[in-house]
Structure 1
Amino acid sequence: MSTVFFYILTKTQNHKRDTMASTKPVNRPSVRHPSHNHPLRVCKVRGEDEIICSGCELELTGHAFKCTKSDCDYFLHKSCFDLPREIDHKSHPEHSLTLLHSSPYGQPYTCDACGEYGSGFTYNCSECQYDVHVGCAFIPETVKREVHEHPLTLLYNTPCKGREDGAMFICDVCEENMSENLWVYYCKECDYGTHVHSCPVYEAHEPKNRGGGEAEASLEALRMQSVMAARDELAAMHIRNQIKNSVIQFGDEPRYKWVYD
């Protein structure tokens, strides 16, 4: 065998070995969460991916957890991954609310905060059948809108609740009647109130009499602004919780357990 041929053969074998080593799967850590049967792994989600969190059912961007199974579309915000198992909430002072990872009723539940359906995580009182989206549970207690000179305060029922004349509260943005038990952002001084999601931002940007596809697209964009605000509040809650507790507990076991596969 000539020296030149041996050199070429050796370089080819070395290159093939280096290529195989570089394509070998990285043994990255995965993590278990009680909401899902498969291990989860940290990933980064782009806005254009249009991924919905399986926990709060809000849009997901940035760092998150994804199921390690390629055919499973289970994703979680980091903030949803670290939600406390039990909370005391001002909306339901009689009992603590327990985090459930699915509806306890065998079908979608109705959120007692915003009135919308949910099929993901819920903070639940089993005794009262009271349910709150995790995205609703941590919305701010006050908000400021450009269209109104005073801050709006979060109320856990409309100001019309209990009125003997049966009067219904009307959202000052969408002008729809609201169930007396729904949460509302309200200014007592001006008797001005709105739904807790979406509506408070509509009035600042969208004339009520606009119609057609342009209006629908714009309203959808504004709805997502409200969704993102709720997601940001969840993230802020997660940071506060990390500061308060170095390890979050689930019962007697650590909140999460690292495994390698």
Structure 2
Amino acid sequence: MEKVDLPVHNHPLLPLTRFSHGRCKGCWSHGYIYGGYRCNELGCDTLFYKECAESLPDINHSSHPDHPLKLVRKFQSSICSLCQVWFDTGYFCSICDFKLDLGCAWRPSPPLTLENTDTHEHQLVLSNGVGSELSQSTRNCKVCSSEVLEFKQYYECHQCELFFHVKCTKISLEEYHTSHPEHPLKFLTGDEAPGYADKKCLLCGMEFNQELHHCDVCNQHLQRLCGKLITT
């Protein structure tokens, strides 16, 4: 298989012809990757989803329609303006300081409003924080309790004056997962997890102390990244 040069990585990448398990260097999602790319350089062994590896040098994105976005590799670690996750390779608007990680660049943009979600009983409205009249003292996400950053996209409930990270509106508060089908897993923050809970993820084995999906019956749980692919 012939290696290819792609702008997201500084070494030639080898297309994957079978499943590989690991963390994508582009969007940092952890799990099984098929049809992606691997770096076989000594000491590197980096994995990419196909969509992340084949990111274009310049794009127009619906989340930031006023200006084109330019792909930047290995600039100083920054926070994605949509999902608030740290990344080091992604898209950047030099005019507005708008930043987009590779995962958010190829996934569909968040809708302007959300209705009847598991996250909240009222309509949620997408906002970038500009001109918000909500109290500065309440700028914590209702789901994960961490800070909602100003001038980043998030959802607001104007009726309750509550904030929600875009990523947190997609979290299932109680669902079944294919890796643990016997019992439902409840979404908890690190502070809500019981003291006896093991801090190692059922799937990847990594230790964590933030958001998790927890089974009270078996005392097993998944970190948020591994629990994203939840099925009923």
Q: TM-score range by the shorter chain?
A: 0.5 to 0.7
Matched, 1:117 2:58: no
User: Using the alignment, how far apart are the partners of 2:138 and 2:121 within structure 1?
Assistant: 24
Matched, 1:59 2:30: yes
Match of 2:194 among 193, 206, 211: 211
C-alpha deviations, 1:144-185, integer Å up to 9, x for none? Answer: 7435456755x2424x84439645433222334422322224
AA paired with 1:114? Answer: C
Give the drift of 1:62.
2.7
Q: 1:79 to 1:213 in 2, by over 3 A?
A: farther
Q: 1:41 to 1:177 in 2, by over 3 A?
A: closer
Q: Which has the larger radius of gyration?
A: 1
Gaps of 5+ in 1: 1-27, 230-261
Q: Is the CA contact 2:30–2:226 (under 8 Å) kept in the aligned structure 1?
A: no
Q: 1:87 aligns to what?
A: 59
Q: 2:13 aligns to what?
A: 40
Q: 1:131 aligns to what?
A: 99
Q: 1:59 to 1:164 in 2, by over 3 A?
A: closer
Matched, 1:194 2:164: yes
Q: 2:73 aligns to what?
A: 101
Deviates further, 33-42 or 210-219: 210-219
Matches within 5 A, 1:14-29: 28-29=1-2
User: Using the alignment, how far apart are the partners of 1:215 and 1:203 within structure 2?
Assistant: 20
Give the drift of 1:96.
1.2
Q: 1:29 to 1:213 in 2, by over 3 A?
A: farther
AA paired with 2:28? Answer: E
User: Using the alignment, how far apart are the partners of 2:144 and 2:11 within structure 1?
Assistant: 42
AA paired with 1:211? Answer: P
Q: Is the CA contact 2:14–2:40 (under 8 Å) kept in the aligned structure 1?
A: yes
C-alpha deviations, 1:79-125, integer Å up to 9, x for none? Answer: 1122233223344343211122221xxx3123233333222x21101
- The alignment of Structure 1 onto Structure 2 pairs a total of residues equal to 193
AA paired with 2:8? Answer: S
Q: 1:242 aligns to what?
A: none
Q: 1:228 to 1:122 in 2, by over 3 A?
A: farther
Length-normalised TM-score, structure 1:
0.58
Q: 1:90 to 1:207 in 2, by over 3 A?
A: same
C-alpha deviations, 1:17-36, integer Å up to 9, x for none? Answer: xxxxxxxxxxx232221333
AA paired with 1:206? Answer: F
User: Using the alignment, how far apart are the partners of 2:168 and 2:134 within structure 1?
Assistant: 30
> Greater relative contact order (Cα 8 A, min sep 6): structure 1 or 2?
1
Give the drift of 1:193.
4.1
Larger strand proportion, structure 1 or 2?
A: 2
Length-normalised TM-score, structure 2:
0.64
Q: 2:154 aligns to what?
A: 184
Which secondary structure does the structure 1 equivalent of 2:91 belong to? strand
User: Using the alignment, how far apart are the partners of 1:210 and 1:133 within structure 2?
Assistant: 29
Q: Is the CA contact 2:141–2:148 (under 8 Å) kept in the aligned structure 1?
A: yes
Q: 1:224 aligns to what?
A: 225
